[in-house]
A and B are shown apart, each in its own frame.
Chain A
Amino acid sequence: MHDIYNFVSGPLVWVSFIIFFGGSLYRLISMAVLAKKKDVIVYEYMSLKYGLRSILHWITPFGTVKWRKNPILTIVTFTFHICLIFIPIFLSAHIILWKESWDISWWYISDTTADVLAVVVIASCVFFLIRRIVLPEVKYLTSVSDYIILAIVAAPFITGFWTYHQWPGFKIMGIIHILSGEIMLAAIPCTRLIHMVFFPFTRGYMGSEFGAVRHAKDW
């Protein structure tokens, strides 16, 4: 147990962070190079003003027609994404590990708050799963990888919740929790989770083309 714990909480953390940052940077650069080669017009039309205008609308709940048309999806998507980033960064149990290793720490949320928010994330994942299965237009666009990605994202929260509540097998679950977090970090540059990094550029370009070329709104 000690060897496994030391391994997943030591070298594997480094590996996952290097894949996350290095891989994301690589994806960004290779995409920029590809665009330069195959679609140089992207650089011509990219506009900070129109790009930011579009991004701002899309990151505002109910700030676009699409968000207003699907109020439930909007609420779930926003709370899900906020909690997804918020919980792991501001969880006291994570911060104490940063403190132990690097002597750095920051503001943290109470364990009870984290507990409630974790349920929100898990419930959101269930919502996304059901949506994929039930809605024909979403089902049509769904492939196996979508389910795998959803599982990768849900796993750290399910295992973390399990470990925190010390349900049966919580020690093994704690190890799986650390491992699943690392898999998720490493999966970001390797899967469509890269939208976390690409979002400002894809949305920014849409906004630029709609704003500067078509003189239309893209929200």
Chain B
Amino acid sequence: MGKRTLIIYMVITLLVCIFAVMSGYSQEDVTTVEDSAFEEKMRPTVQFLHDEHNEAAEIEEECNVCHHVYEEGKKVEDESSEETECSECHTLNKGDNPLSLVKVYHLQCKGCHQKKKAGPIMCSECHPR
């Protein structure tokens, strides 16, 4: 093994270690879109890197662009609803068609992407196999 190859191997090993430690620390990061109301999943879970998305969308300071609060049909501008699952307000009663909740999620993501002309819009772009 040449000296150069050895150095390359060491650098790669070091990078892998750093990555492993970093991902250990960043376990709290949101990486998927989950909602406990979906008991049976029809399509694979949507991968969603929360922080990267918001950086790209330039909405890091505006949580309520997505985590909105509505009162009597009007959006409350200075309130936001992090830590609240969408299905807590967009309720799904037993026996309800789950599509009503699917619709809320789709319009929230796809609807905005269509307006901004950025981000995934087709089924398979968010629900990969």
Contacts and interface: CB of A to CB of B under 8 A. Distances in A.
Interface in A182-210: none
Interface residues of B, number: 22
Given A95-B99, A99-B103, A171 B114 contact: no
Interface of A: 1-3, 5-6, 92-93, 95-96, 99-100, 103, 105, 111, 163-166, 170-171, 174
Given A2-B117, A163-B124, A103 B129 contact: no
Contact of A105 (B97, B106, B110, B114): B97
A171 B124 contact: yes
The CB with the most chain B CB atoms within 10 A, among A92, A95, A99, A111, is that of A99
Given A2-B114, A166-B124, A171-B125, 7 more contacts: A95-B99, A96-B99, A99-B100, A111-B42, A163-B123, A166-B129, A174-B123
B122 A171 contact: yes
B24 interface: no
8 contacts: A2-B114, A2-B121, A5-B114, A96-B99, A99-B99, A99-B100, A99-B103, A111-B43
Interface string B29-50: 0000000000000110000000
> Can you list the 8 inter-chain pairs with the closest CB atoms, starting with the nearest?
A2-B117, A99-B103, A99-B99, A105-B99, A174-B122, A166-B124, A166-B129, A100-B103
A96 B42 CA distance: 12
B97 A100 contact: no
A170 B125 CA distance: 9
Interface in B41-76: 42-43
Contacts of A103: 103
Interface of B is mostly: helix
Interface of A is mostly: helix
B118 interface: yes
Contacts of A92: 42
B58 to A, nearest CB: 17
Contacts of A95: 99
A174 B103 contact: no
A105 B99 CA distance: 8
A1 B110 CA distance: 13
A3 B116 CA distance: 11
A100 B107 contact: yes
B17 interface: no
Contacts of B97: 105
A150 to B, nearest CB: 27
B14 interface: no
A174 B124 contact: yes
Nearest to B97: A105
B90 interface: no
Contact of A3 (B106, B110, B117): B117
B128 interface: yes
Contact of A170 (B100, B107, B124): B124
Contacts of A174: 122-124
A96 B121 contact: no
